[in-house]
């Protein structure tokens, strides 16, 4: 069953149209990835779904309800959570305060203790640094915190924008493994990545975005073997 349904979405900034009608459908409890080059509209798509950018046309349905045009702060209550590009942490607040802020929405607030333990088990480094200001963490730790903060929100759908950006390969691998673990625990995930090879390797289904449109979609395994994708994105 599909939990998030995006149909013919058009959006942009000012006069500039970025999204030219992509349609995506997220299967429940599956890891879906959205890949594509720089500036094809991946981040804009996520920002539009969250309500940070107003859609011009098209529909966004979450769990059957149309949510296009509703403000961003109402999304967390629904269970739609974004780990934004560039992490967007509360750098002046401590690690634990950041996690606490993640659990702002109504569903997550009563389970804050349980979820803190869950995040600290998944990323023990964060527990060691729980009283440190988020701005003083290394890049990898910051990305762990950003993902951890997303988990604190008890998402039904977790969307992650550029998980691997600027991270060392070993850290990237570790974070991708945590995603697999979350997927096995039954979370629906939409992963936006520039690292096409790794994203396709761990995903169930994939979309390729080009110039604001869905260029190709299919089971991730098939996409990984598609000659066009191999030539255009994997350099093979």
Partner 1 sequence: MSPGTIASSIADGLLIGIVYGIAAMGLSLIWGVMSVINLTHGALISLGMFGVYLLFTTFGLNPYLALIVVAFFGLLLGVLIYLIAIARVIDAPHLSSLLATFSVNMIIIGLGTAIFTTTPRDTGFSLGSVQIGPVTLQGTRLVAMVVTLIVAGALYAFLYRTRTGKYIRAVANNRAAAELMGIPSTAILALSFGIGTMLAAIAGGLISTFFSFTILSGGIYELKSFIIVVLGGLGNPLGALVGGLILGVLEGVLPLTMPNTWVPVIEFLLFVFILLVRPSGLLGGK
Sheet holding 205-210, edge to edge: 80-83, 157-161, 188-193, 31-35, 205-210, 213-219
Positive or negative, the CA dihedral 138, 162, 26, 66 is positive
- 15 is a site residue for partner 1 (CB under 8 A): no
**Binds partner 1 (CB under 8 A): choice among 6, 45, 53, 89:** 89
Pick between residue 149 and residue 183 the one whose CB is nearest to partner 1: 149
Identify the bridge partners of residue 216 per DSSP, sorted by sequence position.
Answer: 208
Q: Which stretch binds partner 1 (CB under 8 A): 5-13, 57-65, 71-79, 203-211?
A: 71-79
Q: Which stretch binds partner 1 (CB under 8 A): 13-21, 83-91, 185-193, 228-236?
A: 83-91
Rounded to whole angstroms, the Cα distance separating 119 from 66 reads 31
- 111 is a site residue for partner 1 (CB under 8 A): no
Q: Which stretch binds partner 1 (CB under 8 A): 93-101, 170-178, 205-213, 214-222?
A: 93-101
Pick between residue 20 and residue 90 the one whose CB is nearest to partner 1: 90
**Binds partner 1 (CB under 8 A): choice among 57, 69, 88, 231:** 88
- 84 is a site residue for partner 1 (CB under 8 A): yes
- 91 is a site residue for partner 1 (CB under 8 A): yes
- 190 is a site residue for partner 1 (CB under 8 A): no
- 44 is a site residue for partner 1 (CB under 8 A): no
- 185 is a site residue for partner 1 (CB under 8 A): no
Q: Which of residues 112-171 bind partner 1 (CB under 8 A)?
A: 149, 153
**Binds partner 1 (CB under 8 A): choice among 48, 105, 115, 172:** 105
- 52 is a site residue for partner 1 (CB under 8 A): yes
- The radius of gyration computed from the CA coordinates of the chain, to the nearest angstrom, equals 17
b/e string for 61-75 if b means 16 or more Cβ within 10 A?
Answer: bbbeeebbeeeeeeb
Rounded to whole angstroms, the Cα distance separating 88 from 229 reads 31
Half-sphere exposure for 225 (CA within 13 Å, toward CB): 3
**Binds partner 1 (CB under 8 A): choice among 8, 66, 77, 128:** 77
**Binds partner 1 (CB under 8 A): choice among 95, 100, 175, 208:** 100
- 183 is a site residue for partner 1 (CB under 8 A): no
């Amino acid at each position: 069953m599909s939990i998030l349904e995006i149909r013919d979405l058009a959006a942009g900034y000012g006069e500039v149209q970025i999204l030219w009608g992509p349609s995506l459908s997220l299967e429940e409890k599956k890891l879906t990835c959205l890949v594509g080059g720089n500036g094809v509209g991946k981040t804009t798509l996520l920002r539009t779904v969250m309500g940070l950018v107003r859609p011009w046309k098209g529909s966004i349905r979450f769990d059957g309800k149309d949510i296009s045009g509703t403000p961003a702060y109402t999304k967390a209550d629904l269970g739609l959570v974004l780990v934004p590009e560039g992490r967007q942490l509360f750098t002046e607040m401590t690690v634990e305060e950041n996690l606490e802020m993640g659990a702002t929405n109504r569903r997550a607030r009563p389970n804050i203790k349980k979820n803190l333990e869950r995040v600290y088990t998944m990323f023990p480094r964060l527990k060691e640094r729980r009283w440190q200001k988020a701005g003083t963490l290394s890049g990898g730790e910051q990305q762990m915190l950003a993902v951890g903060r997303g988990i604190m929100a008890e998402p039904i759908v977790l969307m992650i924008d550029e998980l691997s950006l600027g991270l060392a390969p070993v850290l990237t691998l570790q974070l991708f493994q945590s995603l697999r673990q979350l997927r096995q625990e039954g979370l629906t995930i939409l992963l936006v990545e520039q690292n096409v090879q790794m994203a396709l390797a761990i995903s169930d289904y994939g979309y390729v975005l080009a110039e604001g449109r869905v260029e190709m979609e299919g089971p991730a395994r098939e996409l990984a073997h598609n000659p066009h994708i191999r030539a255009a994105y994997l350099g093979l």
